[in-house]
Amino acid sequence: MKTLAKAVNEGYVIAWRNLLGVRRSMDWLFAAVVQPIMFVLLFGFIFGGALGGGQYREFLVPGIIVQALAFNSAFTVVGLSTDLGKGVIDRLRTLPISRVAVMVGRTLSDLAVTVVALTVMSICGLLIGWQIRGSFLDAILAYLLLLMFAFAMCWIGALIGLVVRSPEVAQSAGLIWLTPLTFISSGFVPLDSLPGPLQFVAEWNPITAVMNAIRSLWGNPPAPGTTTLGSESWPVAHALEYSLLSSIVIIAVFVPLSIRMYRRATARQ
């Protein structure tokens, strides 16, 4: 218990350090605030006009929110690889702190950035016609689900950051796999409109599950011209369960993997 309390305390100090860096560097401000606003407005009005106006925008906002949170995991990649490259992590490893403290600190601070981005995007969404039609409790549940998903994505980002080790590569390595993953989903178009194999992938994509789960919880409509959020396949019918499960699995797999990689990565010359 004492060890755990110590690790959490150290993680908190490191998260504080990371967040000071976020507040003082302009690119992070851009990433947490400007980019989400841009996403919502661009997609909302460029696709929105052609695809169904107000109803499309209400359908779109949850998708955009999930995509932006997934993209935020790239900050974890860049943050960790930068610290590795500059020797900050080596320095921290010579201090008598828990080995998980650095990783916990990094993912916590990225989660805090995510909260800011989530708030900004929700306000922005409200301004362009998105709204929460479900109950207060369901709405809170949807936000908690999003945070858990974002936290899980950070740990994937952590592993990538430790593997690539170079901030320059990290930027693209952190984003490249996310672009197809977030687009082959129910984020922007109805699942039914996708060709067969892509539809299958999209249905089983955990990102689709998160998008559909929060749409249900917030009471947002399906895409214009459709009546449901997708087919009758299991992951679509059980979006809430499947999204929870996949976040838990990601955390259970990537936390130990990242911690192992952290020990090894810093042990290289």
Partner 1 sequence: MTAAEPAVDMAGVAKSFSGHRALEHVDLSIPTGTVLGLLGPNGAGKTTLVRILTTLLQPDAGHASVLGHDVVTESAQVRQHIGVSGQYAAVDVNLTGFENLWMVGRLYGLGRSGAAARARELLDQFRLSDVAERAVKTYSGGMTRRLDLAGALVARPRVVVLDEPTTGLDPRSRMDTWSLVRDLVSDGAAVLLTTQYLEEADQLADSIVVLNQGRVVERGTSDELKSRAGQECLEVSADIEHLDDLKDAMTLIGDGRPVVETHLCRARVSVRDRRADVSALLKLLEERDIPVLDLSLRRPTLDDVFLELTESAQTEGPSA
Question: Cβ 54 to partner 1, closest distance in Å?
Answer: 42
226 within 8 A of 190, measured Cβ to Cβ: yes
In this structure, what token pair is assigned to residue 100? 């998980």
Distance CA 234, CA 231 (A): 9
Shortest distance in whole angstroms from residue 163 CB to partner 1: 17
Beta-carbon count within 10 A of 131 CB: 12
Q: Is 87 among the residues that bind partner 1 (CB under 8 A)?
A: yes
Say which residue the tokens 């917030």 belong to.
Answer: 218
Q: Taking a C-beta distance cutoff of 8 angstroms, is the pair 93, 263 a contact?
A: no
Which one of residues 27, 45, 90, 140 is an interface residue with partner 1 (CB under 8 A)? 90
Binding test (CB under 8 A) with partner 1, winner from 27, 49, 86, 256: 86
The owner of tokens 């993912």 is 107
Instruction: Kindly write out the interface string for residues 6-35 of this chain, putting x where it contacts partner 1 by CB under 8 A and - elsewhere.
Output: x---x--xx-xx--xx--xx----------
> How far apart (Å, rounded) are the C-alpha atoms in residues 161 and 158?
5
Q: Does residue 227 bind partner 1 (CB under 8 A)?
A: no
Q: Which is nearer to partner 1, 6 or 238 (CB)?
A: 6
Per CB under 8 A, 266 contacts partner 1? yes
Could you say whether residue 165 binds partner 1 (CB under 8 A)?
A: no
- Contact call for residue 267 and partner 1 (CB under 8 A): yes
Q: Which listed residue (53, 93, 245, 257) binds partner 1 by CB under 8 A?
A: 93
Amino acid sitting at position 117: A
How many separate helices (H) and strands (E) can be counted in the chain?
13, 0
Interface residue with partner 1 among 96, 195, 196, 197 (CB under 8 A) is 96
DSSP string across 207-248: HHHHHHHHHHHHT----TT-SSSS-S-HHHHTHHHHHHHHHH
Tell me the closest approach of the beta carbon of residue 3 to partner 1, in angstroms: 11
Q: How many residues does the chain have?
A: 269
Give the interface segment with partner 1, choosing from 50-58, 84-92, 154-162, 194-202 (CB under 8 A). 84-92
Binding footprint of partner 1 on the chain (CB under 8 A)? 6, 10, 13-14, 16-17, 20-21, 24-25, 86-88, 90-97, 101, 266-267, 269
